[in-house]
Structure 1
């Protein structure tokens, strides 16, 4: 969708939103809140005066004055099970119980003049068009009947709701409540390695574009990549699952109140205490005796199972402090894991082909993880018009940092995560307006630190194919290279105001202000790294004594590698949900966001960097295809981006009177933000500099000419004293120079959806289409140029020459110029079919199933920011996305069996992954990006997994009537599918030999990533 179209949409949204002040407004809830509106028909001599919604579990009550036509509007109430108390001129009526889900916009009409109805619905489930509520037998306090079912008014949003039953019943490998988000169209929950590190992905965009709101408060990670604080490379859970009531997943076209998200928005509601004491506890356990062998324990030589131990345990308690007035809820969950990881040589090289002194480094080993999660909540209802809540969460975790790959165990960097969050909320409800005020605090730290402080060695070898040579990393030993401490700390104040004073309209306005300090300590290569050309398949033997390169970090002029930025964020929105008629609802919104990042805006390019890229020192940029002055600043050239206007328009149209058929759609723009981990590198690269020196004659593939950073080797350079000499003897010391564009924009996505929903009894079928384009993603490019200003150089005298990036042409004494800019783009077109049937006592089974076909493209390899193969991001071709399967089917189901056991399952299958690679050719001289699907599992699917769970509840007959013991067995990956993750990605490799046992597209190893072998997990618990 082009900018012209969106300007038009912006003008339309602004006009409509302004006009809403003069026209009739329906209900719309704040983030995470539910809403309900409708019309109550009564006799002319006994009109409706007011309507109260009363939560069954807590006595929480909200009252609104009815309109002259009997209309009522609860614009923002928390999800739960309610009854309506209807005050008539003469007498009071009560509806039967009904349930509102998190984020649900619902309609419910009541007819007090209708004839007697069947027995009331007591399931506590959302009413359907077949469900009538109660009967009308007198003018006293009796149950009344609905004229129609609860109907959805969800507008153009695409997504799903994960109910408490789904969270409780569905099998899962880890207690990460987000594990079921992939039931929404276009959403993937990806476990990236055997340790369980997981991420949420929406469409063709990466994880940094998602946002999770818990009780209306954003959990956005402003520094790291995984979108949610604490989740970067962590197998931990973001929140105790026992404390989550239910959550809503929105994959496209959200309303204006959603900020800092351009792919998936997840809205979760926490549990609250009730007027009765309730509690529960659980213990989950599995070990190596309860799982099948992993492929690496079978191939190429069978070995004993490596120790596996997974313990998860916790409990929750809630109840009244003062009945109907004050309640509490508290929970704790712990996780202790020992899980196998695979340390193997690169490129499928066998361990037996390595020197004997290194062979014991490889194999399957055990890594450990520990997490503790705490949550507490107090809610107070001092009056019928006020709700006060206080919540707090603390998360603490640590791990050994050992991951699958080529790096030996000793190179690990254990990671610690500490996260504290607190929130205070006051919601006040008047006759025709609601104000929701929140103050929240966050303090998050993510800190990997090397387990060993010592020299690190990287051994490289080569593959020869079709006359060409490709170098690859073989394995690594020594000290770890990951030494960081990154996080965010600060306060947020937000206020949402809802006005229902105009008929058929609900008008919302909100403002959020945030003061958050971002910090980053990053000391790359604090342990020096020596790289060796080992010549594994030559006759000269394995070279592990003379390196060809050394890289190490050392303090710069300031000596302070901690980068801090006192960021200021501001957002404002206006939303109007307008019932144009009984069938048509429009959702019209406009949002604007602003962020000030002083570390970027006030940055002054150091004099050393200016001198390094000056015409006198580096004339190569004089004829370059970019202007380095666009990336140089004296502290006054940069301005905060102010163009983040975001129109969002949705609609719902009921084709029939009963609302069985509904057409919906929407269009909107959503801005995300620039990740601080990118922006801070401009500062940190100068404060703690990475030096690089190459040694003459020791690199068989790329001999270097003598110069400032290409010197003769001396064994003293293996010591700290020698490295000090190297750091002091040259101006640049081989370090990189980082520059960021002075006119940096903010990433965003344009979204469009169109679909139809059809409900038959309790089954809802949805068919839809979504189109999402994301633009202005952050990218790092190579700024080096050759002497004539070119990026590539074609040497006619060398007919075998192929294109190469100009790493060999840096400013004298320096390693490379890296420039940061906007330019990453993705586009996805998806068609989906979604089927949902909810569980009820009368119909004790459920199913949620979603099939999605996605045609996604991108201009860079999925998940990669550094783009150093072409001079400009515009030179990269737009190809099929390597991060999105074309076909994906996910289903989850549960059923109560006659033997008193509940059975549930989740099944997912997707098409093979798509991988891309750079291919260079001499004749014709050129560089292209090529891609293909991997061979995968017989070229049928890329990932398949079936999980099952069987649960038995046993009443225990004391404490209270609801007390029971729970016994459960989970079978994870019941079909024992092996979803391999390592594939040959060298398009020139079509020969099988000792140096390369596989060819292009074939599997190179036996690692299965985050997909476990068949595993049985035993659980026991109790509740009362």
Structure 2
């Protein structure tokens, strides 16, 4: 409906809808509620009543005329002013949105001041929140229904400025230049962030969500454990009226465009054109009172039927999946009294996918015999119980306890008999599938978070004090092995004779491919505990100026498989301060800013790989071709192992080492400082605009470094979790007698890694290693990451007829460390990147980082033709990320993973050598290959369109919406191969070629009925 007029006595003043994307609001305890605040005559009593549940709250204006009703459930309220027990004027309809304060200033006669509000259809919206100091975007389920937005939380977050989708194979979203492993996600105050690897999060069924708040910066001290962004969501709840409905969502396979295959010199190297999926979900829900005005429920069940299909990269096998699990979710809200509320939120997202793999003839498009079966499981049960009490007009409390569960299981009936086999680009195609299983790992992990927190608000005159504490115990129970006899995985890579393979040695003569046979195993229960307390003062210095002053104290405690603390960081003080200035005093123009510090915890994956009995053996062989075998009448290929030329188990030998020697005893945390300055202005009754500048600087990194030298000289190689480029304190040899006897400190900015050159001799027709020549010590560069951005927004609020939002972000994301994961090398093992394995991985590696998207343009809008028909559209366009030509060596020491040097001369032992000839790695000549030196990937442009129909009947309302995503079917690469030199002296013909593409165009039909 549109064009509905309202009487001024029933104005609806709301933050968080429409223009709220331009006007972030004050943060409240746990951010699962909102507030109403403002000024009135001293002594006047302001009473608000929820129009849907009957909840009533009342407060008297203070001596200075200020009043505040805090921790109100999101919804619509009727506000009445009384003086001397008598009501003044008519009630005013007020909206409360997630995490925001709705400002209602009342005149001496109790009438709402209209100088800074705007009538938008059936509501009045306050476009500029002059009390807010944070950067946030509020988006409701109602707004999402009008737009072509995919049905997941990440797609909602991508509507906010400065947020970009991850481009590597492990996905995720990036906020303000941070990596995808630095964010936090909440549902009704429950932290549902993946604490194992920090890339994902638990999601409820999408129709369970009522409203989202996407925080991109400047958030309150109640939030921590993130150096990226925060996505805060609340679930739907019941009211005094019964409602029910159903929604059917269809994404037929026939409505999906084919993905592009990738070719090199006419040969297909990545097969995608047969990949597709068929999806159908049916959601049924109901809500209403169990006891009128007191006890309410919302419940839903979502049945799913998902059938994905995909081919192997070579197109020689075809996998069909099937998933038909149902998801459920519920909320219960019990208003015991007007001042005491007990709420329960719970959902289950348990999911299982069964996959069957067949032989496949790509050219004929024919499926052959079954090769293998596998299944995966994910999700779990989640719940949060919250108690809210208002002790007095000025003091309130919120207590919450909950559990977040995430399962991850991968297995196959063939696990005992079949090893997993892969082949890289450039390896000869055997013409049959690789291996007899598509399950790489027998994997079973259960992650459980137990969370408890308490939050308080206390209004004292011009000061609103907020304080609280929270505690999380995060437990990962893991069992992991590779499939097949011996638990070995075979990976075949192309190479050239004489190339030097990191961790292995020189490829023997005559070999143009090699095999890495890797055995990997780990098990155990691992725990981390995170605790914090905070204090914040929101001080109204004058009627026009608000200061937000806060401090947060963090503690991180990571434990090994024996339950012993091995990484502990405490007394991490995170100060944050902000201001908001109502420049004209009428609520239409605001200057605001904030500065703050944010800490990032260590992911549980580090506990497992550093504090567990990890076995990681890598044996290297020359590749002697494919052995074609047969199982159950189906042929498959396994590699024939040739000459062994390397072995490495330095990453884990199956025992829990002396962690005093493997973990910095005085480790500093990873933290980020942030500065934001912004301006907002209301243009007229419907339009507003704003500009914001952001500066972020990341300090420190926690990563594994290969320590090979101390003050005593060269030591046995040990992998240490530490701060690269800082003082590292480990258990070692303090008196140089060859025995570890105490703690010693190494300044890793100057020393810690022994450099050397390797010497070879040509003996019996082959190059053989002779010895190494020490060349000195080197230290690590310190990690650096800065993000600088200018963000512009224009917003037109929804008035029942149309709405529009446009945002442009100009940013620079630069340094030598992306964060806990590496997008440019497609490495998603959080906290164990190659960035600091030795001093040369990042040496001279400054430049544009993987999440550097210099330009970002976002548009979204909706338009109602009449009461029945409407359209919606979105545009997300960003410039492509940088491309780097990575090498694996450097002028000082060949033992490196990725590096910013390329060997150009004397890279491999000379051909035509004679018996007794010698050669050294010191003879190599390198050139610097700068980060981002190969230009950028193309722009990523994604346009979505939707057409909606709605009609009301006596028995309910029917809705239909047809949405098309990636309307123009752009399939540009979002990630390309960036290894120019996979081995010293080698060149990868696939360098710069596409690997991951935009998803192709697809359609979605939504049919809904509600009553």
* TM-score normalised by structure 2 residue count: 0.74
Tell me if 1:645 matches 2:573.
Answer: yes
* Residue 552 of structure 1: aligned partner: 519
Residues 16-74 of structure 1, C-alpha deviation per residue, up to 9 Å, x if partnerless? xxxxxxxxxx9955422212211124xxxxx7442111111111111112223543111
What's the counterpart of residue 401 of structure 2?
Answer: 439
Which of the pair is proportionally richer in strand?
A: 2
Q: Deviations over 1:225-280 (max 9, x none)?
A: 31424xxxxxxxx1122121111111111111112222101121211101111122
Report which of the two has the higher share of helix. 1
Give, in angstroms, the shift of residue 499 of structure 1: 0.6
Range with bigger deviation, 736-745 or 913-922: 736-745
Which residue of structure 1 aligns with residue 129 of structure 2?
Answer: 152
Out of 570, 577, 581, the residue aligned to residue 542 of structure 2 is: 581
Q: How far does the alpha carbon of each residue in 1:653-704 deviate from its partner, in whole angstroms, 9 at most, with x for none?
A: 1111212211111000111200010221124344xx2333345x7689xxxx
CA distance in 1, matches of 2:780, 2:147: 43
Which position in structure 2 is the counterpart of 1:529?
A: 489
Which secondary structure does the structure 1 equivalent of 2:257 belong to? coil
What is the number of residues matched between the two proteins? Answer: 841
Q: Is the 2:304–2:325 Cα contact (8 Å) retained in structure 1?
A: yes
User: Aligned residue for 2:342?
Assistant: 388
Superposed CA deviations along residues 337-375 of structure 1, whole A, max 9, x for unmatched, are: 233445224xxxxxxxxxxxxxx615x755444553211
The question of whether the paired residues in 2 share the 8 Å contact of 1:948 and 1:971 is answered with yes
Q: 2:965 corresponds to which residue? A: 972
Residue 202 (structure 2) pairs with residue 274 (structure 1): no
Aligned to 2:668: 745
Change (3 A) 1:367 1:503: same
- The answer as to 2:117 corresponding to 1:129 is yes
- Contact in 2 for aligned 1:328/1:379 (Cα 8 Å): yes
Alpha-carbon offset, residue 179 of structure 1: 1.1
Task: Indicate if the aligned counterparts of 1:31 and 1:258 stay in contact, CA closer than 8 A.
Answer: no
Q: Does the CA-based 8 Å contact 2:121-2:799 persist in structure 1? A: no
SS in 2 for 1:682: helix
Take 1:277 and 1:505, find their aligned partners in 2: how far apart are those partners?
41
Of 161, 170, 177, the match for 2:153: 177
Q: Which runs of 5+ in 1 are unaligned?
A: 1-25, 42-46, 119-126, 135-144, 230-237, 346-359, 465-469, 555-560, 604-634, 701-715, 800-805, 811-819
Distance 2:943 2:809 in 1: 18
Find the counterpart in structure 2 of residue 756 from structure 1: 679
The match for 1:97 among 93, 109, 120 is 93
**2:293 matched to 1:324?**
yes
1:32 corresponds to: 32
2:446 matched residue in structure 1: 487
Equivalent in the alignment of 2:282:
313
Q: State the distance in 1 between where 2:874 and 2:490 align.
A: 47
Query: Hey, what's the Cα distance between the residues in 2 that align with 1:426 and 1:215?
Result: 12
Give the corresponding residue for 1:880. Answer: 848
Task: Report the counterpart of residue 768 of structure 1 in structure 2.
Answer: 692
Aligned pairs (5 A) from 1:202-601: 202-229=175-202, 238-296=203-261, 308-345=277-314, 361=316, 366-400=320-354, 414-429=375-390, 430-450=392-412, 452-453=414-415, 454-456=417-419, 458=421, 477-479=435-437, 480-500=439-459, 502-524=460-482, 527-531=487-491, 549-553=516-520, 561-599=522-560
In 1, the alpha carbon distance for the partners of 2:603 and 2:780 equals 12
RMSD, aligned CA:
4.6
Q: Tell me the distance in 2 between the aligned counterparts of 1:949 and 1:265.
A: 28
Could you tell me which residue of structure 1 aligns to residue 1009 of structure 2? 1022
Aligned equivalents of 1:531, 1:829: Cα separation in 2: 41
- Once the 2 structures are TM-superposed, how far is the Cα of residue 878 of structure 1 from its aligned partner? 2.2
Distance 2:961 2:180 in 1: 33
Q: Post-superposition shift, 1:576?
A: 0.7
Query: CA separation in 1, counterparts of 2:512 and 2:572?
Result: 56
8 Å contact 1:525–1:690 — kept in the other structure? no
* Offset at residue 437 of structure 1 (A): 1.3
Q: Which residue pairs with 2:103 in the alignment?
A: 107
Moved more, 367-376 or 967-976: 367-376
Contact 1:223 1:487 in 2 (8 A): no
On the 8 A contact 1:838/1:846 being kept in 2, the answer is: yes
Offset at residue 910 of structure 1 (A): 0.9
Shift of 1:792: 4.7
| Pairing 1:594-633 to 2, within 5 Å after superposition | 594-599=555-560
Q: Does 1:663 pair with 2:621?
A: no
Alpha-carbon distance between aligned partners in 1 of 2:345 and 2:245, rounded to the nearest angstrom: 20
Q: Relative to 1, partners in 2 of residues 1:455 and 1:164: Cα closer, same or farther, differing over 3 Å?
A: closer
- Shift in Å at residue 310 of structure 1? 1.5
Residue 852 of structure 1 corresponds to 809
Secondary structure in 1 aligned to 2:542? coil
Partner of 2:726: none
How far apart, CA to CA, are the structure 1 residues paired with 2:141 and 2:517? 55
Q: How does 1:54-93 map to 2 (within 5 A)?
A: 54-89=49-84, 91-93=86-88
The secondary structure found in structure 1 opposite 2:155 is helix
Greater mean alpha carbon deviation, residues 910-919 or residues 568-577:
910-919
| 1:450 to partner: Cα distance | 4.4
Alignment-derived partner of residue 1012 in structure 1: 999
Q: Which residue of 2 aligns with 1:947?
A: 944
Q: Which residue of 1 aligns with 2:724?
A: none
Does the C-alpha gap of structure 1 residues 674 and 533 become closer, same or farther in structure 2, counting only changes over 3 Å? closer
Task: Give SS of 1:643's match.
Answer: strand
Given that residues 54 and 61 in structure 1 are in contact (C-alpha distance below 8 angstroms), is that contact kept between their aligned partners in structure 2? yes
Unpaired stretches in structure 2, ≥5 consecutive residues: 1-25, 363-369, 499-509, 626-637, 716-752, 763-768, 774-778, 888-900, 906-923
Q: Distance in 1 between matches of 2:989 and 2:840?
A: 35
Seen in structure 2, the aligned counterparts of structure 1 residues 551 and 192 have a Cα distance that, compared at 3 Å, is closer
Q: Deviations over 1:292-319 (max 9, x none)?
A: 2322399979998655311122122111
Using a 3 Å threshold, how does the CA distance of structure 1 residues 567 and 107 change in structure 2: closer, same or farther? same
SS of equivalent to 1:180: helix
Match of 1:14 in 2: none
**SS across alignment from 1:221:** coil
Question: For residue 909 of structure 2, what is the aligned residue in structure 1?
Answer: none
Task: Report the Cα distance in structure 2 between the residues aligned to 1:745 and 1:929, rounded to whole angstroms.
Answer: 31
Q: Does 1:691 align with 2:620?
A: no
Output the CA distance in 1 between the equivalents of 2:948 and 2:525.
Answer: 50
2:860 to 864, 888, 892: 892
Q: Contact conserved, 1:913 with 1:933, CA < 8 A, in 2?
A: no
User: Could you say which residue in structure 2 is the equivalent of 1:909?
Assistant: 877
Aligned to 2:138: 161
- How far off its partner does 1:462 sit? 8.5
Cα distance between partner residues in 2 of 1:417 and 1:132:
44
Residues 402 and 512 (structure 1 numbering): CA distance in 2 closer, same or farther, change over 3 Å? farther
The 1:484–1:928 alpha-carbon spacing in structure 2 relative to 1, beyond 3 Å, is farther
Separation (CA, whole Å) in 1 of partners of 2:207 and 2:781: 41
CA displacement, residues 527-564 of structure 1 (integer Å, 9 cap, x when unaligned): 312355778999xxxx999975533246xxxxxx4322
Distance 2:535 2:681 in 1: 31
Structure 1 Cα separation of the partners of residues 334 and 493 of structure 2: 68
Aligned pair in 2 of structure 1 residues 699, 964: CA closer, same or farther (>3 Å)?
same
